[in-house]
Each structure stands twice: as C-alpha cells, then as structure tokens.
Amino acid sequence: MQYTADALNIAIEEFSKLPGIGRKSAQRLVFFLLKYDKEEIHSLAESILALKDKIQYCETCFNITDSNLCAICANESRDHKIICVVEEANDVLAIERTNEYHGIYHILGGVLSPLDGIGPDDLRIRELIQRLGGQVEEVILAMNANAEGEATAVYLSKFIKSLDIKTSRIARGIPMGGDLEYTDEVTLARALSERVWI
C-alpha cells in the first residue's frame, strides 16, 4: 500500500540518486523543499538546469567554466610556467582555498583504473602532454593518496621527466590535529620520508 503521493516518491527517488544521499536524507530534503515558496523551488530548479545549459569545460585546462577559458587560465597574473595536475575539478577548489598556489591547472577527468576499464586514453593525458611543449617549467602531480592516484602519478611522471620538465608531487603526511598513535603506518612512513628541514 502506498502512503505518499507519486510526486513525493519520485522526488525522493531522484534525490537518492545523488552521491552521499541515502533514502532517508532524500526524504528529509524533499520534505524540507515542500516548505519552500513556489518561486524558491523554481529558482532552485532553474539553477540546476543552468548547470547543463551554461556550464562547459575550459578549452585549456578542462576546469568548469561558463566561457571558453576558466578564470584561472585567463588570469595573466597566474604563473603559467607551473601546471598542477589534478583528478577532478573539485580538486582545484580545494587547492585554491589554501591561497598558496598561484600557477595553473590541468584536470585529467579521473585516474587510471584498469579494474574499472579506465586507461590512459580515457583521461586527458594527451592534452596535458600537448600543453607541456611550451614554456612550462614545472608540473605538480596532485593525485589522491590511493592505489589509482599513485599509479596515475607514476605513469605521468615518466612522460613528463622525458620532456626534461621538473616534476613534483604534493607532500603527504599527518593532518593538522592528528595524533601519531592513531596514524596508519603508510601515512607515517611517508611523513618521515617527506619531512621538511627547518
């Protein structure tokens, strides 16, 4: 027996397709939205539709933008001799929040994962290699610290080093506020091997 309206069930089902949103969270979101004014619902729906209608990929770095070039690639004050290679566009946001990096980016669109059928041709590796033919002096590999990220970084570093371009990796180690006794062995070993001289 069905206890709720079809429109409610459809909305819950659609929200539960989003990553990190289970059925209960979807239900809470839908009931929250029912309290919205109709104009607010239209505004939300229009903003979601605009994601598909107006958002595109930067023709240089493949960041998300609403024009041919993203704001970072178009910014002349950025250091265009340094490229930070990341997996996805949300990694750019994470790095930009630090206010420590002033170069440009290249977004691969994922990582190598043979088990999932993702090989070099499925990523934007060819486009990265093409970008390195100019004035680039350093490439920073900022992959996630997992098996796929490590494999991708090793694969890329072989190509980049053959072009005689400095290649670096972001450091990994103990997070701020982390306790040594609760840190896993791999993280602790990497923190020791990549220690900074003071």
Domain boundary assignment for the chain: 6-54, 75-169
Name the token pair of 72: 């970072």
**Res 198: pLDDT:** 54
116, 123 in Cβ contact below 8 A?
no
Secondary structure of residue 62 in the 3-state scheme: coil
The size of the chain, in residues, is: 198
**Res 3: pLDDT:** 55
CA pair distance 111, 153, nearest whole angstrom: 9
* Residue-level pLDDT, tens digit, the chain, 198 residues: 355 688 889 999 999 999 999 999 999 999 999 998 999 999 999 999 988 899 999 999 999 999 999 999 999 999 999 999 999 999 999 999 989 899 999 999 999 998 889 999 999 999 999 999 878 999 999 998 888 998 999 999 988 988 889 999 888 777 777 776 777 787 778 777 777 665
**CATH number 3.40.1360.10 given to 75-169:** yes
**Res 15: pLDDT:** 93
Place of tokens 């265009």: 80
**CATH number 1.10.8.420 given to 6-54:** yes
Q: Is 51 exposed, middle or buried (0-12, 13-18, 19+ CB in 10 A)?
A: exposed
> Residue 79: beta bridge partners?
103
